[in-house]
């Protein structure tokens, strides 16, 4: 089995090209000994099933970042290299191309985004470029599929290039090649280019960002509620509920029935309140949470692949510096809305340890995941928009204040933003679909087991009287400072396993709107779920996580106490 490597700069369309060349079965994993992620799949070449690996994006092989170090190591293992080049930025991309040629790697150059060259008045003589580099060059457009078949056919003729030059001479050589093969012609700006320009200017960019956010969350809610109302709830009510009722009758009354099925409400299974392992434990993550997580990642992936997120990073850069971060920190925050775990992992895009600590702490304290947001909306949405505004407005205020305080108290500087802004383009939906599927698959593998474990633990603790015991001990804090009933202790305990389940556990307690608002804020702030906690320990170190934990607990009781007094 040969290893074929897709190598190129970030934002050159490698993922879309990868999706065109492979089937639907792909694997995302971390490179051994690192936290850098890559994706691999398979294709049939010359009758053999070969492995295609989407190498992390790199600007050079000097290994000045973890991603570049992984790229260098992978080159040692690869048999063929497909160097993906942005045809609209030939000069910059050829820097990596010449370095690959110097490695004597058998390769083919995929001159991607070929359609954009026509729109930008760029003319490239492919035959001359192929002759200059000494390797096959194929114009491609991963979005439309143009050139993909020719690229596949020419993989068998991959060969090492003949260019040899010193590092000091490389840019001079690149200049010679570009002047020989590329000519430019006059053209007018397109609509998308004008839109790209106004997206990063505060006067026009902020309204665009607000409109984008509004439409995004409207779409997320529309898709999520549609899936719940028309797909998942009918399936559970008409198919799963009768099966569980039969199982309940077989088990009879007793401990096992309470654990697996939970309590029957008016002789029926209530998937939210029954709290059974096979009822609430499955219904909450699958029917209540998964639809919103799917719709969120669908919209987020579209914004990623369309080129909007880097522009949003540039737009909010000045504001983010007020809290000790640069604009790209908006990406882990947005990912954290989907799930805090990938949000925590995404803090790696930040350069300094100080930035990563501030970003991770702010996300863990004040950014609820989509699963929790879905449960909060279901829990207090009946009280209207003002109740939801109290919850999410408070969290945003906490996010800003804590960020400013950490920026003031933690020594160090925030580096300037360094990000390449790709042109706006319509995403390749095959690649987008795979990205959403990988994220959803991860959520299913992580969420369902923890929710079921959480429900099981709560049932056992209730049966043993542990919850009531803890409620009495912690009553002065829970009822005195936060104004919540001691029964809410169970939700706080389970919040360490799954916060969405913890919010769901507030439903049967008959809380007032004030108590529900405070409980929702407290559950978001006081501690991350165990999956996020584990990742944060790896990212921040044990000492950093302990410091973050103290900040979380102190902030939670201060904010909860103030809300109890004000409301």
Tens digits of per-residue pLDDT, 483-540?
888 777 777 777 766 676 677 777 777 788 898 899 889 888 887 776 677 778 878 8
Residue 372's contacts (CB-CB under 8 Å, 6 or more residues apart) are: 499, 500, 503, 523, 524
Tens digits of per-residue pLDDT, 12-65?
888 888 888 875 456 555 555 555 677 888 888 877 888 999 998 888 888 777
Judge if pTM exceeds 0.85: no
Tens digits of per-residue pLDDT, 320-329?
888 888 888 8
376 vs 234, which has greater pLDDT?
Answer: 234
Per-residue confidence (pLDDT) for residue 529, from 0 to 100? 75
Give kind and range of the element (H or E) at residue 287: none
Of 142-156, 200-214, 363-377, 502-516, which gets the smallest average pLDDT? 502-516
448 vs 70, which has greater pLDDT?
Answer: 70
Helix or strand or coil: residue 201?
A: coil
Enter the tokens of residue 525: 């702030």
Per-residue confidence (pLDDT) for residue 498, from 0 to 100? 67
Domain architecture of the chain: domains with CATH: 3-187 (3.40.50.300), 202-414+429-566 (no CATH)
pLDDT (average), residues 451-478: 74
Residue 50's nearest CA partner among 106, 108, 3 is: 3
Mean pLDDT of the chain: 83
**Dihedral sign computed on CA atoms, order 282, 283, 286, 288:** negative
**Band of the pLDDT at 547, cuts 50, 70, 90?**
very high
Per-residue confidence (pLDDT) for residue 451, from 0 to 100? 63
Per-residue confidence (pLDDT) for residue 263, from 0 to 100? 79
Per-residue confidence (pLDDT) for residue 225, from 0 to 100? 85
pLDDT greater than 60 at residue 102: yes
| 384 CB-contact burial (10 Å; exposed 0-12 / middle 13-18 / buried 19+) | exposed
- Can you tell me the distance from the alpha carbon of 249 to that of 470, in angstroms, rounded to the nearest whole number? 33
């Amino acid at each position: 089995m040969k290893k074929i490597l897709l190598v190129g700069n970030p934002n050159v369309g490698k993922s879309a090209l990868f999706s065109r060349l492979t089937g639907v079965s792909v694997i995302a994993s971390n490179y051994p000994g690192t936290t850098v992620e890559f994706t691999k799949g398979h294709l049939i070449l010359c009758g053999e099933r070969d492995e295609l690996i989407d190498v992390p994006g790199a600007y050079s092989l000097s290994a000045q970042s973890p991603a570049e170090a992984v790229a260098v190591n992978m080159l040692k293992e690869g048999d063929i290299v497909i160097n993906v080049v942005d045809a609209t930025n030939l000069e910059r991309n050829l820097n990596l191309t010449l370095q690959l040629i110097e490695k004597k790697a058998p390769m083919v150059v995929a001159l991607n985004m070929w359609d954009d060259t026509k729109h930008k008045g760029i003319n490239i003589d492919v035959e001359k470029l192929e002759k200059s580099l000494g390797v096959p060059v194929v114009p491609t457009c991963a979005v439309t599929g143009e050139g993909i078949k020719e690229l596949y056919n020419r993989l068998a003729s991959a060969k090492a290039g003949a260019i040899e030059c010193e590092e000091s001479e490389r840019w001079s050589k690149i200049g010679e090649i570009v002047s020989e093969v590329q000519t430019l012609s006059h053209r007018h700006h397109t609509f998308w280019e004008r839109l790209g320009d106004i997206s990063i200017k505060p006067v026009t960019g902020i309204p665009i960002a607000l409109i984008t956010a509004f439409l995004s969350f409207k779409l997320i809610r529309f898709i999520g509620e549609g899936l719940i109302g028309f797909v998942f709830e009918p399936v559970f009510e008409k198919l799963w509920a009768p099966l569980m009722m039969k199982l309940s009758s077989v088990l009879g009354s007793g401990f096992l029935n309470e654990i697996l099925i939970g309590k029957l409400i008016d002789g029926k299974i209530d998937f939210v309140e029954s709290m059974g392992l096979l009822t609430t434990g499955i219904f909450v993550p699958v029917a209540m949470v998964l639809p919103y997580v799917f719709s969120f990642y669908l919209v987020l992936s579209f914004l990623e692949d369309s080129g909007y997120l880097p522009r949003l990073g540039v737009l909010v850069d000045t504001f983010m510096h007020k809290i000790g971060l640069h604009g790209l920190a908006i990406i882990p925050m947005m990912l954290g809305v989907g799930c805090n775990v990938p949000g925590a992992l995404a803090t790696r895009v930040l350069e300094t340890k100080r930035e990563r600590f501030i970003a991770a702490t702010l996300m863990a304290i004040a950014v609820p995941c989509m699963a929790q947001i879905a449960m909060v909306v279901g829990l207090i949405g009946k009280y209207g928009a003002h109740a939801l505004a109290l919850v999410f407005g408070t969290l945003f205020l906490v996010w800003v204040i804590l960020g400013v305080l950490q920026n003031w108290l933690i020594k160090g500087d925030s580096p300037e933003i360094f990000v390449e802004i790709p042109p706006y383009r319509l995403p390749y939906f095959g690649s987008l679909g795979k990205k959403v599927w990988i994220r959803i698959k991860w959520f299913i593998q992580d969420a369902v087991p923890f929710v079921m474990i959480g429900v099981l633990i709560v049932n056992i603790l209730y049966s043993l009287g542990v919850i009531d015991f803890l409620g009495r001990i912690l009553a002065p804090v829970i009822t005195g400072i936060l104004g919540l009933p001691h029964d809410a202790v169970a939700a706080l305990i389970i919040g360490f396993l799954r916060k969405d389940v913890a919010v769901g556990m507030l439903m049967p307690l008959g809380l007032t709107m004030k108590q529900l608002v405070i409980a929702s804020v407290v559950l978001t702030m006081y501690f991350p779920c165990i999956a996020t906690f584990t990742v944060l320990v790896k990212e921040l170190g044990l000492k950093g996580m302990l410091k973050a934990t103290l900040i979380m607990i102190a902030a939670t009781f201060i904010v909860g106490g103030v809300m109890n007094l004000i409301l």
